[in-house]
A and B are shown apart, each in its own frame.
Chain A
Amino acid sequence: MKEKVLLKLDILADAAKYDVSCSSSGSSRGSGKGVGNARSCGVCHSFTEDGRCISLLKILYTNNCIYDCAYCVNRRSNDLPRAAFTPEELAGLTMNFYRRNYIEGLFLSSGVMRSPDYTMEQLNEVARKLRNEYRFNGYIHMKAIPGADPLLVREAGLLADRLSVNIEIPSEQQLLRLAPEKNYDTVFSPMNLISHSMLESREERKKYRKAPRFAPAGQSTQLIVGASPETDYTILKLASGLYGKQKLKRVYYSGFVPVNSYDSRLPALQQPPLVRENRLYQADWLMRFYHFRYDEILDEKHPVLEQGMDPKLAYALRNPHLYPVDLDRASYEEILRVPGIGVRSARIIVANRRFGRIGFGHLKKMGVALNRAKYFILCRELPARSNTLNSSQIRQRLVKSSNGAGKQLSLF
């Protein structure tokens, strides 16, 4: 029995690894009775060799699947070892990992076994066991299986901290081409159901404090980048709509890892488009924390994020009339738009400039990337619009000074 679980774990963790979301933040589930809490913000318990945070036990209930999506390793036409847990095995595994502080909780996804309803029911059973039998208050992130009965999705939302439905392919037309058994309706109807139920539960809880929570950590989704020809502009526009309309907490971008190279509907990639993926995350940050609208970052005339520089720098170079920004006077929003200045530094600047003039020394200490910022600011050492370089000169200098830009994958 033990050997069996080991084997299943090996197969089903391997099969789940392409789902990139790992965050465990944003919930608050107390530990009145039972064990655990889902309160702490995004604790990473380890990091994979590829540098991703391991926070949750991310695993498939089964890698059996009745569907045949072109971009997926688990599609039915692939010949590979298949396995399925039982709810008891998976709940026990989660508890034992949690008790040892290996994980913050469980991220449960699955191939579609027999039918969407049957699969959703199995996932719910795992969560029910954890919550009711083991009295587990830790974090549970569950996939809502597209096509499952709304009642089952509702039940999932009452058990889990976060639900997600993956859109995967950023346009319906391409989704139909690569996954003929799916369409946007099967994805968006559970998504809308979830956001509606979340709203409802929040309203209820205003009236009765004891009303049940529905997915208190919200919902997220994943978009695969590079398996289909959508531009970055299309992708950001879609993401922006998801944040606005469906009130998603996170959109994850996953550079397509070339699996199923035999399928001629897929592009022939040597390796996953990691730089592009990183630029999309940066653009996403600009929307979520830097008050940028998607159509400020890109537009129909510039539909592609520059690979050689981060999107904020690209924005600044396209909009020279907005700079330089005077650090002693400008608003928080304006300072946020300076390349090389992050959220924390911007806050410190605004809160402390009453004590004196901001200078290079201060900025360096705060971790501001002066090599970029200096072209776009006024401060003690740069009291007036002294630098007369134009955008293309700045661009030249910056691209030269960051030769490794393509390899460096940090945020800003």
Chain B
Amino acid sequence: MKITGPFIIYTYDGTIDGLFTVVFRAFQSRSAPREILSLRLGTQIPIGDITAVESCPEEAGRVRRGIIERSDERNLRLLQVAHLSESKQTDMLLWKYLKKLFAMPYGEYYRNMLDEDVYDLVQTARRVKKEVHRFHGFVRFQRTRDNMYVAAIDPDNDIVRLLAPHFKSRFPDRHWLIYDVRRKCGVFFDTQSVREVELEGNAFELDTGYIGQKARALDEDYYRKLWQTYYDSVNIQERKNSRQMRSFMPGRYWKYLPEKSKK
């Protein structure tokens, strides 16, 4: 099949179904995208030949099945994880990758890490997973008066859903909420199951991630103080190496870490 282009700018709703629908349409109309824009985070839409695609579960499903046929379930998950990356080129990378996956003989292409796009896809997914791993550590819960544990996060990538399994097995006996304040999307656990939630208003102070004084459990400030004290006392002055500390824990993550923001 011949695909012409690239001419068209596609926009979609930011979901993986939306992106797969774009891929489906591009194949159907044989017209490769010049750009694919997710409308999720208030993207500026440039002027030009724009095709707005509404996500269609049917068509997305066909792309999904195609992916599994030509690779496997694991590879589909890899694509889904990579799609959560907020890096600008991700959508186009996924397009380039899928174009090749669908053009080549079954089961060969996706294993070839010497192919640039395969490698980049694996790397993109790896970066997302790395951030998930980091946030297994960087999430900071605060206890509320009604004994719920809540945390604000602001990660680079859209990972809040991927955090749920870890915390579900770690704190199975408490209600907890992890909330991405920038994307306004959270996961809430009620000791039975995990739900996606969107909060009204500002439950968290945006510069510190703290919940309001009235909502905090009485011992909350005390334990935060203890933690800050602990952080300061384990430092070894003679070994100071801020550069290394920053490379493991970049400054952009500090605002919701009480030991670093010190408010």
Contacts and interface: CB of A to CB of B under 8 A. Distances in A.
B111 to A, nearest CB: 8
Contact of A13 (B149, B230, B243): B230
B219 A257 contact: no
Interface in B146-169: 149, 151, 166-167, 169
Contact of B241 (A6, A9, A51, A358): A51
Given A44-B137, A46-B249, A51-B245, A257 B236 contact: yes
B119 A365 contact: yes
Interface in B181-197: none
A14 interface: yes
Interface string A335-358: 000000000000010011101101
Interface string B88-130: 0000000000000000000000011111100100010000000
Nearest to A35: B173
Contacts of A54: 231, 234
A49 B245 contact: yes
B114 A102 contact: no
Contact of B166 (A40, A49, A57, A348): A40
Nearest to A344: B126
B240 A46 contact: no
Interface string A18-51: 1000000000000100111101100111111111
A99 interface: yes
A53 B248 contact: yes
Contacts of A35: 170-174
A362 B141 contact: no
A11 B229 CA distance: 10
Contact of B114 (A46, A48, A55, A358): A358
Nearest to B166: A40
Interface in A48-65: 48-55, 57-58
B136 A14 contact: no
Most chain A C-beta atoms within 10 Å of own C-beta, residue among B134, B171, B173, B234: B234
Contact of B244 (A5, A51, A55, A58): A51
Most chain B C-beta atoms within 10 Å of own C-beta, residue among A10, A17, A34, A46: A46
A48 B245 contact: yes
Contacts of A52: 239
B257 interface: yes
Contacts of A49: 235, 240-242, 245
Task: Report, nearest first, the 8 A-B pairs whose CB atoms are least far apart.
Answer: A51-B244, A50-B239, A13-B233, A45-B137, A14-B233, A51-B241, A355-B112, A51-B245
Interface of A: 2, 5-6, 9-11, 13-14, 16-18, 31, 34-37, 39-40, 43-55, 57-58, 93, 96-97, 99-102, 255, 257-258, 271-272, 274, 348, 351-353, 355-356, 358, 361-362, 365, 409
20 contacts: A10-B229, A16-B234, A31-B169, A35-B172, A37-B169, A45-B137, A46-B137, A48-B234, A49-B242, A51-B248, A52-B239, A97-B223, A99-B143, A100-B141, A100-B142, A101-B167, A257-B236, A257-B239, A274-B239, A352-B114
